[in-house]
Amino acid sequence: MRFFTAGESHGPQLTAIIEGLPAQMPLTAEMINKELKRRQGGHGRGRRMQIEKDQVLITSGVRHGKTLGSPVTLTVVNDDWKHWTGIMGIEPLGDDVSPEDIKRQITRPRPGHADLVGGMKYGHRDLRNVLERSSARETTMRVAIGAVAKQFLHELGIQTVAHVTEIGGIITDESAYANLSIEELRTIVENNPVYCADEQASVKMVAAIDEIKGRGDTLGGVVEVVIEGCPPGIGSYVQFDRKMDGKLAGAMMSINAFKGVEFGLGFGMAKVPGSEVHDEIAWSEERGYYRKSNRLGGLEGGMTTGMPIVVRGVMKPIPTLYKPLESVDIDTKEAFAATIERSDPCAVPAASVVAEHVIATEMAKAIMDEFRCDTMEGLKEEITKYRQYVKEF
């Protein structure tokens, strides 16, 4: 399985092409639209989410609700495009270029964004040519692709969920959700304003977001993704680039504004001895091999263990501030306050949705690499046989 995304933040549309999906997998636009709506939600989102009502159009690779085995094309139209046709038009600017078109050119890069370095790399004097693609609007299609991946995993009995564990230094109490099933956790998260499973922490997070918005500033945080039902042995120890934790870490770090990733106890492992880190192995006739704990987050030696996969990522505060930081105009070289674009005071809840979907995508890709079959039913049979094999090993 492989995919590509294309499109600019204020362009006509966003597009994704997915190749390698097995045939006969159930897939509808509704399955994807549900996840796109979640990405646009969460307390702290800005005005752009009121403008765009993302709906996917499946234009290839699916017939009568099932995949064909050929490439699947997904398209999301940018509703705001109608206000940007002159500024973001495809055709060359004529002699009648308007003052508005000139005004929207950007020469003052924003600290923390791709603006300046992207302009240097691709030779753009109008930095809008950088920010239009580097924008987190691209994650719309990452979620759309991930929704397809989640449907693939669901068919194999593998479930995913994501939730917010920290915003602006406010940390959840793990005991509030430690004993919940993945279905119970998902229900709570999807009905919470900041996609958090700890109600007391959630109230404080909402207040912190409102307070920071009033100051023209932004907040970051931490999100956690959990995958249950994955069989052991996905990934490999034989080459560095086949290690599953490396792939998942790369996927998490590919999300806009993410600056750190950890599994299980994560960086907390530096504070405790090995006897309090590693997971003891047990066996029962009912379960086969399992771990008595899950401190390593479901991964050992670059492979899944069969335990829940637990991966967390940290998102920095969004660098587009309504109280802008100092920058330098690339034309005049004079100091100015950086350009202000529409922004969110906190996008951590939405980022948890993106994280869940990029992790689901990476897991789906890895499973397709391990079990090569052109039909969904054939793949199910292969994985069922493999699950029985590892149980009896």
pLDDT at 99: 61
Say whether 327 counts as a known binding-site residue: no
Contact call for residues 234 and 366 (beta carbons, < 8 A) = yes
287 is known to lie in a ligand binding site: no
CB 222 within 8 A of CB 164: yes
The string of pLDDT tens digits covering residues 37-89 is 999 999 976 655 556 689 999 999 999 999 999 999 999 999 988 888 888 88
- Which distant-in-sequence residues (6+ apart) come within 8 Å of 175 by Cβ? none
What is the structure's pLDDT at 287? 93
Cβ atoms within 10 A of the Cβ of 325, count? 12
Q: Which residues pair with 274 in a beta bridge?
A: none
Which pLDDT score is estimated for 103?
Answer: 62
Predicted local confidence at residue 341, as pLDDT: 62
Average pLDDT over residues 188-213: 96
Residue 58 contacts residue 27 (beta carbons within 8 Å): yes
Q: Is 150 annotated as a binding residue?
A: no
Residue 129 assigned as binding residue: no
Sheet holding 170-171, edge to edge: 170-171, 159-167, 221-228, 309-315, 258-263
pLDDT at residue 88, as a whole number:
87
The response to whether 109 counts as a known ligand-binding position is: no
User: Is 342 labelled as part of a ligand binding site?
Assistant: yes
The runs of H, that is alpha helices, within the chain are 29-39, 48-51, 99-103, 115-122, 128-134, 139-155, 182-190, 199-214, 244-253, 348-370, 376-392
pLDDT beyond 80 at 311: yes
> By C-alpha distance, which of 3, 44, 73, 25 is closest to 349?
44
Structure confidence by residue, pLDDT tens digits, 345-382: 999 999 999 999 999 999 999 999 999 899 999 999 99
pLDDT level of residue 344 (50, 70, 90 thresholds): confident
Q: CB neighbours (10 Å) of residue 61? A: 20
pLDDT greater than 80 at residue 309: yes
Strand arrangement, sheet containing 72-77 = 2-6, 13-19, 72-77, 56-60
User: Distance between CA atoms of 102 and 96, rounded to whole angstroms?
Assistant: 11
Q: What is the pLDDT of residue 101?
A: 61
Residue 47 is predicted with a pLDDT of 58
Mean pLDDT is lowest, of 12-21, 285-294, 323-332, for 323-332
Q: What angle do CA 349, 351, 355 make, to 5 degrees?
A: 125
Is 70 annotated to bind a ligand? Reply is no
- Of 159-168, 230-239, 293-302, 323-332, the one with minimum mean pLDDT is 323-332
Residue 242 known to bind ligand: no
**318 labelled as ligand-binding?**
yes
Rounded distance between C-alpha atoms, residue 101 and residue 197, angstroms = 45
Tell whether residue 212 is among the known ligand binding residues: no
What single DSSP character describes residue 371? S
Rounded Cα–Cα distance for residues 103 and 96 (Å)? 14
Strand partners, 327: 336
What is the number of other CB atoms lying within 10 angstroms of the CB of residue 199? 12
- pTM for the model: 0.94
CA distance 10 to 80: 7
Q: Flag whether 110 is marked binding.
A: no
State how far the Cα of 131 lies from the Cα of 118, in Å rounded to an integer. Answer: 8
Dihedral angle of Cα 243, 249, 254, 259, to the nearest 10 degrees: -150
* Confidence (pLDDT) at 207: 97
Confirm whether residue 134 is marked as ligand binding. yes
